[in-house]
Structure 1
Amino acid sequence: MRAAAPTALALLISCTPAPRDAAPPAPSVAAAGPTPPIIAAAGPTPPPSCARRTAGPAPAPLDPTHAGSGVALADLDGRTLAFVADEDDRALHTVDLDARAPLARTPLAGRPAQVIVLGDGRVVASLRDRGLLEVLEPTGAAAPLARLCLVPVASEPVGLAMTPDRATLLVASRWAPALTSFATADLRRLGELPLARDPGAVVASADGRRAFVAHAVGGRISVVALGDGGAPTSARELPTDGVEWRPRAALSKISSWVAPPVPSGAARSAPAGRKGLRAVQAPAPVRVDRRGSQGFALARAANGAVFAPIALVDPGPGTNSGGYGAARAQTAIDHIAVVDPMGERADVPPVSTHLGTQGCQLPRAAAIAPAEEVLLVTCLGRDEVIAYDARARIPGQTKAAGSARDRELYRARVGSGPTAIAVDSARGRAVVFTRFDGELTILPAARAPTSAVIRGPRKELSGELPVVVLPRASRLDEQRAEGQRLFHAAGGRRIAFDGRACASCHPDGRDDALTWSTPEGPRQTPVLMGRLDGTAPYGWEGDKKDLEGHFARTLSRLGGAGLTAEERDAIFAYLRAMEPPVGAADLTAEERAAIVAPPPAGAAEAGAHAALAARGEALFNAREAGCSSCHVGDELTTDGARHDVRSATRFEAARAFDTPSLRFIGRSAPYYHDGRYPTLLALLDGVDGTMGHTAHLSAQDRRALVAYLESL
């Protein structure tokens, strides 16, 4: 019959916008011309090298925790430089922070996710769309960086970090989930360890014996042991799921005063001086189990503790609901998990108060001002930076049951799309990259700043934050730029009544690995990247013939105020521009010449896996298996029909489900319309006779079928 009710559609995409309108960089900023040949054309071709080639002063990295970010700070001859990874411009920008002036723009071989400055002044950028690291060298503060070499790494490298001795570079890759380590001296690969899906940010422990890796979905933090040589050897996963104690209504007449939850059987009394309130017996608060999500950021404190800003999500009871998630409740709330220095546990205490729609639902970057012990978190969609007290046991939860207004120090309003932050401790400032605007914002990194436009529950200050506009040579067209902004718009009520953004459930246009309560029953989040066109009808029930109708129903169920047709089409244009990352094999001749220290060929292992996948493809298309009767065409998308595969439960409103596309299926666990199968192998073992026929296959043939599906 057909393969699979539900698989979350795609998985990670390097959320990279497609075509762009060219625009020349500002003439006052040095820009790199045509890429010079990296290898001499005449005579024997020397092997490429990542070593420094320029004598003289080199930038000294300023981050004491040696963590990468979209912004890396360094000191060069008394000047503070910022190297900015601009994914939308496919370039690194060099900015003089003291003069607040852009100095140079260096085009790269791909879209940089993060950048880090090595101990000897070389600069490394992770190219998330190419499966490469690009190593560069400053030749002068005002000149574009010299491009030294390209280093292959697992597909979609995102997070970068160094060990405290600066001898080992750690790289977290999302598309092919892994942590890879390199020797910083020559970028020689030391080892690679597969991880759970969607790893992103990474930071090394203070003793250099382990690495902490955040996962964008799945609600976990990986603690990876590093061997004596720096190679990753094993990983443990710490859950970041949490609990919220939601108070029941306990007062009559006036409900503006809400006391902290009290033990069952105790009485709650009104504060002195309050009129119109009468004490009543306080019913026991309601326990709500929440799933960790949006794990994009990590920051390590001086004491070794690692802070992980996350969202805690209530996807509902797993049955039916009026929308997506619990009915009329705050579905996603902001929180901060704290991992102890030894990586033994992730402390996610119960939540008793939260900021509702004003919380940081899409945290994307974090940094610590060590002298002030302030944790700074960038909030995508709200265009804010929130400062938390890093001295607290759990920043953002300073009291067991305090006011939501006590959960932060202050907020700073910044430009659109804050995706990166770095701290200059010596000068008491932080630098924020706002990707959608293409700007750097400089703000004070202090517990009680005395100037700048900073707003929040505790501070109302006046002034103006310094802003540096980056001289981009390319940018998103107007429609896609608007779609990018709307897709990440959090905190308002146009998309959802509780402030959720599109990116709350579809980070980077992919899926959140969650199963939500819906009016039809439990439904897994589908991936959007690569799935908008050619996959009609829409919805797990296949009851919407066009994308516009499906989108309208989604907003209705989210309780959003709505968008205009032009805004809706802008979101569609933004999503259609998304493409999956490619591997390091897709290189130009010039790029191949710049490859250094390629990974071991592993020809025998690669050949065996290719043969296994080829066997799986033959099985997939065999009449006996029946997979290709529903998943048809080159893209293995859909037959456009609904099928009853005997998967409906008592919570289902319908028994037949739409045939999903299999594109990127290997990167979208869990599987089925309700996420009941954690792996593809478990799915094949569980659906024989209802979705194709697999019981007759040997264990090896089932592994072959999985290998083929994972290659799609």
Structure 2
Amino acid sequence: MEEGIRDTSKRNATIAAAVMHWATRASAIVVCLAIATTCERRDPPGVEAGTPHAPSANTSSASTAKRTNLTAVRELERSSSALALGRMGDETVAILADEDDAKLRVMKLPEARELASAKLDGVPGHVLVGDDGTIWIAVRDADLVQSFTLSCIENTSECALAEGLRIRTAKEPLALALADDRALFVVSSWGRELARHALPSGEKIEATPLAREARAVLVSKDKRRLVIAHAAGSIVTTVSLSPGLPTREHHLDFRDHHLDETASLVIGDEPRFAGQGFALTRASGRVIAPMVLVYPGDPVPSSGYGSLESPYFPNEPVLWGLADASEDEPPKLRVRHAVLPADKHRSSVERASSPKATPPCLLPRAAASDETRGSILVACAGIDQLLELDAADAPLATSELRRWHLPSGPSAIAIDPRTHDAWVWSDLDRKLSRIVLGSTGVEPDAGKAFVSIHDADASIAIARDTPLDPDWERGRRLFHSSLAPDGRACASCHPDARTDGLTWSSPKGPLQTPILAGRLPSTGPFGWFGESPAVEAHLKLTFARLGARSLDDADLRAIATYATRARTYLSARLRTAEENRGRQIFDSIEAGCAMCHQDGGLKGDGSQRDVGTGGTFDTPSLRFVGGTAPYMHDGRYATLREMFDRTEGKMGRTRHLGEKDMLALLAYLRSLE
């Protein structure tokens, strides 16, 4: 009898719960209909849990279990990159922007076991973690910044990523910064813009233009300005965080006096330009940018690119430093044998060379500071090494402490202050390396004959989801390898397969570095003089002028494959009415542009012409012309407008155009992407 009563009570309770459940759903449906909202359960777009899969949000285990959220590790103290560290309770995790797979990955350290991942809308740039645990990631070829939150069930590996804001940006967002929890700053490289977005809404508040090829951004210690490094253009930009975001460009080109060793007389006055500004860090009261000083040679014929006659090496590592809290102190340069203000002359007898065991770092791609040790870490592509340098102002020849061998393509560094480990992401080999730094500082020995070189303590392979063409992948490796005897790689003049903006001496006179990414297909013959019918043939000429090691046909084919199909990181868009008007002018008989530049300027006509610049040169594609100043074979014109004015009647005709039509033509040319 009592059991029957209990069974009846259970059934009644079950029926009552079901009635309440459906009544609640019915009420929700009524509310949704009232506000015209679609009430359908959807998984976050593009988000997938790691292994094992996170339980569904409506299961009892997920709803009752205690969840742990992500917290940042020193993110406001460092420059954004493809790698960040975070904490999930007592555990450390790596947050990785995986370019080849277009994914955001979260991995538990030290074993690098994946906890969760999210498919992105395109190729990622940098990732950054806010103080509130929000993960921000730039998507370069989608003109987008996406945000995610990560949570895990405590004491388990059941984690999930949930997408939050999507912020539209200018072309090619790459680097990110957070001055506080109220503003996100986005550096768009090809779009040449710094934008401030309000948080938590993501609304764009203001923006300011930037110089070309911005690659890294760092907030000053007092959070009153940003410092931005550029891969080309020989500048570092500072931006005040006051209204309007006023900018100041610090030009790093200076003269290098070359002395006659016997007579101590100045016999040369050579320009030096800075490039390869891919990273920033903070040390000893300064913002530090590892860069490379370049001597492109005099504007006359020479034996190679940049006058290679011994003992001249045209590229030299440099640490550029700006006082962290003041713009009154001029920037300083730490070169191999001197420390000097950036705007001063340097006297030297010969270019700095390095022992074979410790080659120069000519492709610095990441940097971090270890305040406990008083040192700076620089990850160097091309030689695949990690360098530790004393942070104090001193010549680089006496500042190097240690080196580590790394897998190929080191591109990001993050230091865990709790364990004194450095984690380095090498994207070409797809390996995450652990470097045990130790907590005791190392004093540099000015009299030492060599620097100690070590292997990474661990290197963990991260499996790839997306297969790559073997030739393209091998070509990418070779493109970033030191092939010339002075340490230069293809990427030394073509960062990201683009251009350094310099005009180099060569056996045929001064020649400007052309852009490669997106421009090579269907644009033969190749070279400024159109002397090569195929990319591989032109590579042979280039390597001969560099004095580079001989490559076999398979290697040449691989480099040609990569250069021809290198990523542009740019999204497609519709043209404006002004740009469409510019296309009509471009195609008109009166302007004559289309007589040589076919398919709206995207292809040359395969001919070589004399347009009054001292010779006969190949007709190039105009794709990306808006972002590849200066112009002509020797870079003689700083802007497109100047080029049109100076070549009137010799290379098209624009003098008849009114100002409105001239601006439309320029707008169209800048839209060729």
Instruction: Return the TM-score normalized by structure 2.
Output: 0.82
Q: Specify the SS of the correspondent of 2:290.
A: strand
Q: Aligned ranges for residues 227-376 of structure 1 at < 5 Å?
A: 227=242, 233-244=245-256, 246=258, 248=260, 287-301=269-283, 303=285, 305-328=286-309, 329-341=312-324, 342-344=326-328, 345-348=330-333, 349=340, 350=346, 354-356=352-354, 358-376=359-377
1:638 to 601, 604, 622: 604
- How far off its partner does 1:615 sit? 2.3
Decide whether the 8 Å contact of 1:129 with 1:582 is kept in 2: yes
1:148 to 164, 185, 200: 164
Instruction: Kindly provide the amino acid, as one letter, of the partner of residue 318 in structure 2.
Output: H
Q: Specify the SS of the correspondent of 2:400.
A: coil
CA distance in 2 between counterparts of 1:309 and 1:61 reads 25
CA distance in 1 between counterparts of 2:425 and 2:283 reads 22
Instruction: Tell me which residue corresponds to 1:79.
Output: 91
Change in Cα spacing, 1:146 to 1:101, as seen in structure 2 (3 Å) is same
Instruction: Tell me which residue corresponds to 2:408.
Output: 416
- How far off its partner does 1:378 sit? 0.6
Q: Specify the SS of the correspondent of 1:427.
A: coil
Q: Specify the SS of the correspondent of 1:441.
A: strand
Is residue 2:524 matched to residue 1:508?
Answer: no
Instruction: Tell me which residue corresponds to 1:386.
Output: 387
Decide whether the 8 Å contact of 1:239 with 1:346 is kept in 2: no
Q: May I ask how many residue pairs the two structures share in their alignment?
A: 590
Identity %: 35
- How far off its partner does 1:393 sit? 2.1
- How far off its partner does 1:200 sit? 1.3
Structure 1 range deviating more: 532-541 or 192-201: 532-541
Change in Cα spacing, 1:98 to 1:198, as seen in structure 2 (3 Å) is same
Instruction: Tell me which residue corresponds to 1:564.
Output: 552
Decide whether the 8 Å contact of 2:302 with 2:507 is kept in 1: yes
Instruction: Tell me which residue corresponds to 2:17.
Output: none
- How far off its partner does 1:444 sit? 2.8
Instruction: Tell me which residue corresponds to 2:433.
Output: 441
Write the deviation string for residues 172-194 of structure 1: whole angstroms up to 9, x where unpaired.
11111111122232322222211
CA distance in 1 between counterparts of 2:212 and 2:408 reads 28
- How far off its partner does 1:369 sit? 1.1
Decide whether the 8 Å contact of 2:165 with 2:202 is kept in 1: no
Q: What are the ranges of 5 or more consecutive residues in structure 1 without an aligned counterpart?
A: 1-39, 251-280, 399-403, 451-455, 587-608, 649-654
- How far off its partner does 1:576 sit? 2.6
Instruction: Tell me which residue corresponds to 1:194.
Output: 209
- How far off its partner does 1:407 sit? 3.4
Q: Specify the SS of the correspondent of 1:521.
A: coil
CA distance in 2 between counterparts of 1:646 and 1:541 reads 15
CA distance in 1 between counterparts of 2:199 and 2:408 reads 34
CA distance in 2 between counterparts of 1:623 and 1:469 reads 58
Decide whether the 8 Å contact of 2:405 with 2:456 is kept in 1: no
Q: Specify the SS of the correspondent of 2:191.
A: coil
Change in Cα spacing, 1:288 to 1:437, as seen in structure 2 (3 Å) is same
CA RMSD of aligned residues (A): 2.8
1:61 to 72, 80, 83: 72
2:145 to 133, 146, 160: 133
CA distance in 1 between counterparts of 2:39 and 2:503 reads 54
Write the deviation string for residues 653-689 of structure 1: whole angstroms up to 9, x where unpaired.
xx11111111111111111111111111111122111
Name whichever structure is richer in strand by fraction: 2
- How far off its partner does 1:295 sit? 1.0
Instruction: Tell me which residue corresponds to 2:10.
Output: none
Write the deviation string for residues 608-638 of structure 1: whole angstroms up to 9, x where unpaired.
x923222222221111111111111255311
Decide whether the 8 Å contact of 1:132 with 1:584 is kept in 2: no
- How far off its partner does 1:85 sit? 1.0
Decide whether the 8 Å contact of 1:544 with 1:550 is kept in 2: yes
Q: Specify the SS of the correspondent of 1:126.
A: strand
CA distance in 2 between counterparts of 1:707 and 1:471 reads 43
Change in Cα spacing, 1:522 to 1:448, as seen in structure 2 (3 Å) is farther
Decide whether the 8 Å contact of 1:642 with 1:657 is kept in 2: yes
CA distance in 2 between counterparts of 1:544 and 1:476 reads 28
Decide whether the 8 Å contact of 2:138 with 2:176 is kept in 1: yes
1:482 to 449, 471, 474: 474
CA distance in 1 between counterparts of 2:572 and 2:539 reads 36
Change in Cα spacing, 1:147 to 1:242, as seen in structure 2 (3 Å) is same
Structure 1 range deviating more: 439-448 or 558-567: 439-448
1:684 to 644, 649, 653: 644
CA distance in 2 between counterparts of 1:619 and 1:132 reads 32
Write the deviation string for residues 150-206 of structure 1: whole angstroms up to 9, x where unpaired.
22111111111111x333211111111111122232322222211111111001112
Instruction: Kindly provide the amino acid, as one letter, of the partner of residue 93 in structure 2.
Output: L
Decide whether the 8 Å contact of 1:82 with 1:94 is kept in 2: yes
Instruction: Kindly provide the amino acid, as one letter, of the partner of residue 127 in structure 2.
Output: V
Instruction: Kindly provide the amino acid, as one letter, of the partner of residue 375 in structure 2.
Output: V
Instruction: Tell me which residue corresponds to 1:175.
Output: 190
Decide whether the 8 Å contact of 1:212 with 1:224 is kept in 2: yes
Change in Cα spacing, 1:457 to 1:285, as seen in structure 2 (3 Å) is farther
Instruction: Tell me which residue corresponds to 2:624.
Output: 664
Q: Specify the SS of the correspondent of 2:142.
A: coil
- How far off its partner does 1:387 sit? 0.9
Change in Cα spacing, 1:576 to 1:196, as seen in structure 2 (3 Å) is same
Decide whether the 8 Å contact of 2:70 with 2:151 is kept in 1: no
CA distance in 1 between counterparts of 2:435 and 2:278 reads 22
Change in Cα spacing, 1:439 to 1:326, as seen in structure 2 (3 Å) is same
Q: Specify the SS of the correspondent of 1:474.
A: coil
CA distance in 2 between counterparts of 1:243 and 1:434 reads 35
Q: Specify the SS of the correspondent of 1:145.
A: strand
Decide whether the 8 Å contact of 1:368 with 1:376 is kept in 2: yes
Change in Cα spacing, 1:551 to 1:98, as seen in structure 2 (3 Å) is closer
Instruction: Tell me which residue corresponds to 2:176.
Output: 160
Decide whether the 8 Å contact of 1:537 with 1:640 is kept in 2: yes
Decide whether the 8 Å contact of 1:385 with 1:411 is kept in 2: yes
- How far off its partner does 1:102 sit? 3.6
Change in Cα spacing, 1:240 to 1:706, as seen in structure 2 (3 Å) is same
Write the deviation string for residues 17-44 of structure 1: whole angstroms up to 9, x where unpaired.
xxxxxxxxxxxxxxxxxxxxxxx99961
CA distance in 1 between counterparts of 2:561 and 2:80 reads 31
Decide whether the 8 Å contact of 2:140 with 2:569 is kept in 1: yes
Instruction: Tell me which residue corresponds to 1:120.
Output: 132
2:122 to 103, 107, 110: 110
Q: Specify the SS of the correspondent of 1:575.
A: helix
Change in Cα spacing, 1:330 to 1:447, as seen in structure 2 (3 Å) is farther
Instruction: Kindly provide the amino acid, as one letter, of the partner of residue 44 in structure 1.
Output: T
Change in Cα spacing, 1:554 to 1:99, as seen in structure 2 (3 Å) is closer
Q: Specify the SS of the correspondent of 2:576.
A: helix
Decide whether the 8 Å contact of 2:406 with 2:456 is kept in 1: no
Q: What are the ranges of 5 or more consecutive residues in structure 2 without an aligned counterpart?
A: 1-31, 46-56, 58-62, 334-339, 341-345, 443-447
Is residue 2:635 matched to residue 1:675?
Answer: yes
Instruction: Tell me which residue corresponds to 1:205.
Output: 220
- How far off its partner does 1:284 sit? 5.3
- How far off its partner does 1:458 sit? 4.9
Decide whether the 8 Å contact of 1:291 with 1:313 is kept in 2: yes
Change in Cα spacing, 1:457 to 1:155, as seen in structure 2 (3 Å) is farther
- How far off its partner does 1:58 sit? 2.3
CA distance in 2 between counterparts of 1:571 and 1:701 reads 41
Decide whether the 8 Å contact of 2:432 with 2:459 is kept in 1: yes
CA distance in 1 between counterparts of 2:453 and 2:640 reads 54
- How far off its partner does 1:442 sit? 1.1
Write the deviation string for residues 484-532 of structure 1: whole angstroms up to 9, x where unpaired.
1100002xxxx32312100001111111100011122111111111222
Decide whether the 8 Å contact of 1:306 with 1:339 is kept in 2: yes
1:426 to 414, 418, 426: 418
Instruction: Tell me which residue corresponds to 2:576.
Output: 610
